Homo-oligomer: A and B are copies of this chain.
Amino acid sequence: MEGEVVSAAIDETHDPARGSWVPTANGHPEFPVQNLPLGVFSPRGGQPRGGVAIGDRILDLPAALAAGLFSGEAERAAKAAAGATLNPLMALGRNPRVALRRRLSTLLAADGAERAKVEKLAPTLLHETASCAVHLPAAVGSYTDFFAGIHHAYNAGVRAGRQPPLTPNYKYVPVAYHSRASSVVPSGTPVRRPNGQRKLPDQDAPDFGPCRKLDFELELGIWIGPGNALGSSIPIARAAEHVVGMCMLNDWSARDVQRWEMQPLGPFLAKNFSTTVSPWLVTVEALAPFRRPQRARPADDPKPLDYLWDDTDQREGAFDVRIEALIETEAMRRKGLPPHRLASSNLDHLYWTVAQLVTHHTCGGCNLQPGDLFGSGTISAPDQSGWGSFAELSDDGNATIELPSGESRTFLEDGDEIVLRARAVRDGFVSIGFGDCRGRIA
C-alpha cells in the first residue's frame, strides 16, 4: 500500500467481449463477469462464508480455495474474503483485491485457459443465489451518514423554512453525522415501524406512539478500508486507497420523530431503528469505467479548501451510475402489478466526491477502520422525478403520490416495500448493477 498511487484503471476484466461459462452471467443486468461483487452468504443449511455474485449464481470462495484455484496475492485476498465478514479483505488494501478480481475474471471467463477444469468443479463452486441467504458483507464498525446530495439538502432547507435553504457551511463542509452501526441490516430484513416522541404544531405537548411519517432515503453506501491511525489524517490524493466499494443504502427515517428531537444536536432515534444495505460489495475496480469528472458543483460555487481539492479527484472522482427507488404495496402485490418507480437519479448528483468525504472525515484525526460504512446522504435529482424521499415527494405530507394500483401515499404504510437499485451504463462497456436494496414495513 505505502507509496502506491491508485487511480482508476480499466483493464482486461472490463473487456466487453469477455463472456462467462456461467450461462446466466451473459446478459445479466447486474452480475455479468465484468462485475464480480463480493459478499457473504449461506447456502441452504450452511454457515456464512464469502462469495462472488455471477449471473444467478454465487461462487463459493472457501470451496474455490479448497480446490486450489488461487495462489499468491489473489489467494491472500480470497482467504480474507472467505469468512463470515469481508472486514479482513477490506483491511488488505487494493493490490490483493485487484489480483483476486483478475483471477476470478479468468476463472469464470468463457475463454479462460482453465475453463474445462473449473467448469467441472461447478457443482461444488456455484450455488443458486435464489436458494441462499445473503448477509451483511461486513461487521460494521462505525456508520457515518453524509448530506452530500445537494438537491436533497436544498429541499430539506426549503421544508425547514430556511432562507437561503442551504446552511452557510454547505458548500465548504461535507456535512455529516454519526449514525448507528448496530441497526444496519441486509436487504430483505423487515423494517418495524418505530415508536417515538413527536409533537405536531397544534399539540401543546408531545405524545408517544408509532411513527406517522415513515420515510425512505435513496443513498449510496460506501465501504471503507484499510483506514488510518487515530490522530493521523488521509490526504485527498490518497483517499481513494481507502474506499473498497459501494452498495445502495436506505436510510429509513421517522420524519415526525426527527422534527421534534433533532434540536440542537441532530437526528438520533429518527434514523437509528434500521438502515438497509444491498448485500453485494461492488468494488471500485468494477466501477472504474463509470468514473467521470465531478460536475455537481457549479463552476461559480466557492472552490473547496485546499485539503479537499485534488485535480485527479476532480477529473475522475464522480460516478455515472443511474439509481432508482421503487415502491411495491400490498395491493400491488395482490394485483400482480410491478413495483412503481418513485424516483430516478444518478450518483453524479453528489456535491462532494467520495474521496472528499474520506479526507474530511479524517482531517481532524478521526480514525477510519476496515468495515466502516458511509452513507452519501439522499441523492435527489434537481427535478421532482428524482426526489429520493417521501419528505420531498409529498412535501412533508402536503401532497399525495398517486400509484398505479389506484392508491396514494404521502409516507410509507405497513406492507409497503421499497427497492433501491443502481445500474452503471456506458457505451462500449458491459452494464453492471448493485443488486436490490429491499425492505418491507412489517
Contacts and interface: CB of A to CB of B under 8 A. Distances in A.
A306 B209 CA distance: 11
Nearest to A162: B264
B366 A175 contact: no
Given A230-B182, A230-B185, A305-B207, A175 B264 contact: yes
Chain A interface helix/strand/loop/mixed = loop
A169 B261 CA distance: 7
Contact of A272 (B206, B233, B269, B366): B366
Contact of A141 (B172, B182, B268): B182
Interface in A207-232: 207-208, 211, 230-231
Task: Say how many copies of this protein the assembly contains.
Answer: 2
Contact of A177 (B147, B160, B175, B268): B268
B266 A182 contact: no
Interface in A240-291: 254, 257, 260-270, 272-274
A142 B195 contact: no
Interface string A142-154: 1000010000000
A34 to B, nearest CB: 34
Given A264-B156, A268-B176, A367 B197 contact: no
Given A206-B305, A261-B169, A305-B206, A266 B177 contact: yes
A364 interface: yes
A172 B205 contact: yes
Interface in A136-192: 141-142, 147, 156-157, 160, 162, 167-169, 172-173, 175-183, 185, 192
Interface of A: 141-142, 147, 156-157, 160, 162, 167-169, 172-173, 175-183, 185, 192, 194-197, 199, 205-208, 211, 230-231, 233, 254, 257, 260-270, 272-274, 302, 305-307, 360-361, 363-369, 372, 442
15 contacts: A162-B264, A169-B260, A169-B263, A177-B265, A178-B179, A178-B272, A180-B366, A182-B367, A183-B367, A194-B363, A195-B233, A206-B305, A230-B274, A254-B364, A266-B267
